[in-house]
């Protein structure tokens, strides 16, 4: 005689998310079929994927590259950072007495305080707010909207910083210590004159844009007009360091030239050594200038 008594099935535990075991989830990843709670779900073409599968998939997906080898970016992060630093430094200049003198560049101070070659590019005149406004506007229009997306963040940052350095070096090269007669007459010249502003770096972006556009067979007529107008302003309006503008545009063009020259995928590994070579040349030029002038009165500090 058979026993028809029914035995209840063993109850199954509800599925839980592997990353959050305390959360019950009946939604499963389309790739690994594991449960995924709402915090671990990511939309897929069909259904959802878990964050672990998405992360693993990202390792096998080739990162997009710009035409000059940089990584494709969703936003001009480097430009945002530079603008943020300039604004922060400007606020410190306005609120902290003597801060400008601590970071501004003067040929007389660059030998013993070489950081000024770069820090001066993040400071601006506190007596003319248009100084920082115009520079940040130019940085946004030329850098954020075009060059950073064209070069990628790393190469763009390199061009900007090396151009800033080149602007200060050119200011140094075109300055000389005043003679004893000049000092007696109260003429200290550019050797003891502070220079601040992102203009040298921005002009470097101008020069880079012209070179890269030429490489891409694009017109730079508008940029040439901008450069010409700013060049005239630099000579007409007093207290503008046109020497930094000149150094910046030459350096920026040189940086862009080496990036363009080693643009082929198999040659891109030479771009960074070439950029480093430009920095070495600038350092040698600055050192040679200081060696040529010898000692001079230290009137700043």
State how far the Cα of 245 lies from the Cα of 199, in Å rounded to an integer: 6
Q: How far is CA 153 from the centre of its chain?
A: 7
Give the pLDDT mean for 274-282.
98
Residue 1: pLDDT above 50?
Answer: no
Q: Tens digit of pLDDT for each residue in 54-103?
A: 777 766 545 567 778 778 777 899 999 999 999 999 999 999 999 999 99
Asked whether residue 139 carries a pLDDT value surpassing 90, the answer given is yes
Could you tell me which CATH number the domain at 77-292 has? 1.20.1540.10
Query: Which residue spans of the chain are classified as CATH 1.20.1540.10?
Result: 77-292
Q: What average pLDDT does the chain have?
A: 87
Give the percent of the chain with pLDDT over 90. Answer: 54
State the chain's maximal CA–CA distance in angstroms. 129
Q: Minimal CA–CA distance to 150: which of 201, 199, 210?
A: 210
- Residue bearing the bigger pLDDT, 80 or 38: 80
Instruction: Give me 247's structure tokens.
Output: 């150094």
35 DSSP β-pair partners:
28
Q: Give the pLDDT of residue 60.
A: 55
Q: How far apart are CA 206 and CA 196, in angstroms?
A: 19
pLDDT value at residue 41? 81
289: three-class secondary structure by DSSP: helix
Task: Report which of 139, 164, 128, 141 is spatially closest to residue 237, judged by C-alpha positions.
Answer: 128
Helix axes 199-215, 153-173, angle to 10 degrees: 120
Work out the average pLDDT over 7-25.
74
- The percent of residues above 70 in pLDDT, for the chain, comes to 90
Report pLDDT for 205.
96
pLDDT at 281 over 90: yes
More confident call, 218 vs 56: 218
Q: How far is CA 41 from CA 15, 19, 49, 54, 196, in A?
A: 15, 11, 6, 10, 50
Predicted TM-score (pTM) of the model is: 0.77
**CA–CA separation, 116 vs 99, rounded Å?**
12
Long-range pairs, 4-13, Cβ under 8 A, ≥24: none
């Amino acid at each position: 005689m058979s026993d028809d008594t029914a035995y209840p099935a063993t109850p199954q535990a509800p599925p839980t998310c592997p990353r959050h075991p305390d959360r019950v989830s009946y939604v499963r990843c389309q790739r690994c079929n594991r449960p995924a709670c709402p915090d671990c779900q990511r939309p897929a073409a069909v259904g959802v994927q878990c964050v672990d599968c998405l992360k693993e998939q990202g390792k096998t997906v080739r990162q997009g590259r710009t035409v000059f080898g940089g990584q494709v970016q969703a936003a001009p992060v480097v430009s945002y950072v530079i603008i943020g630093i300039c604004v922060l430094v400007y606020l410190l200049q306005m609120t902290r007495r003597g801060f400008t003198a601590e970071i501004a560049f003067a040929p007389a101070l660059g030998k013993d305080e070489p950081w000024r070659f770069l820090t001066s590019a993040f400071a601006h005149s506190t007596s003319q707010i248009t100084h920082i406004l115009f520079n940040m506007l130019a940085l946004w229009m030329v850098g954020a909207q075009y060059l950073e997306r064209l070069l990628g963040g790393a190469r763009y940052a390199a061009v900007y910083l090396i151009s800033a350095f080149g602007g200060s070096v050119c200011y140094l090269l075109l300055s000389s210590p005043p003679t004893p007669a000049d000092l007696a007459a109260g003429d200290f010249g550019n050797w003891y004159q502070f220079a601040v502003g992102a203009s040298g770096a921005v002009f470097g972006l101008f020069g880079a844009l012209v070179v890269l556009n030429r490489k891409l067979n694009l017109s730079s007529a508008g940029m040439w007009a901008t450069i010409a107008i700013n060049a005239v302003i630099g000579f007409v309006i007093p207290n503008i360091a046109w020497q930094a503008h000149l150094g910046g545009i030459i350096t920026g063009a040189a940086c862009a030239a080496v990036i363009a020259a080693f643009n082929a995928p198999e040659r891109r590994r030479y771009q960074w050594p070439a950029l480093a070579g430009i920095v070495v040349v600038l350092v040698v030029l600055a050192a040679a200038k200081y060696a040529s002038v010898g000692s001079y009165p230290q009137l700043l500090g």
